[in-house]
């Protein structure tokens, strides 16, 4: 179970680092709005929340990929 968790979390962590860098190189945290309201958090807090958002999103994508690779297929023909 630990190996599965690390297989999912480590690559998603690395991709979240890249996503965070790309996103916040284009957008200033002090100018971000959520549903039309200005975010009242410090820049570090916005960076932190953004990183965890990207990490969770990438982890969900990794879980979906793992699931799709592990489900059995009924199709016997090769593509």
**What pLDDT score was predicted for residue 77?**
60
Q: Where are the alpha helices (DSSP H) in 2-42?
A: 2-26
* The token pair that represents 75 in the structure block: 């199709």
pLDDT digits (tens, 9 = 90+) for 1-50: 888 888 899 999 999 999 999 999 998 888 878 888 888 888 899 999 99
Residue 76 has pLDDT above 90, yes or no: no
Q: Where are the domains of the chain?
A: 2-70
* The token pair that represents 68 in the structure block: 């799709």
Q: Say if residues 46 and 39 touch (Cβ distance below 8 Å).
A: yes
Cα separation, 34 vs 23, whole angstroms: 16
pLDDT digits (tens, 9 = 90+) for 1-13: 888 888 899 999 9
**What pLDDT score was predicted for residue 3?**
85
Cα separation, 47 vs 55, whole angstroms: 12
* pTM: predicted TM-score of the whole model, two decimal places: 0.78
């Amino acid at each position: 179970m630990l190996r599965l968790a690390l297989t999912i979390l480590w690559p998603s962590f690395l991709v979240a680092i890249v996503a965070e860098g790309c996103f916040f190189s284009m957008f200033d945290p002090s100018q971000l709005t959520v549903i039309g309201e200005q975010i009242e958090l410090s820049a570090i807090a916005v960076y932190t929340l953004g990183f965890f958002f990207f990490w969770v999103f990438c982890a969900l994508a990794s879980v979906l990929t793992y699931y799709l690779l592990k489900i059995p297929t009924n199709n016997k023909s090769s593509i």
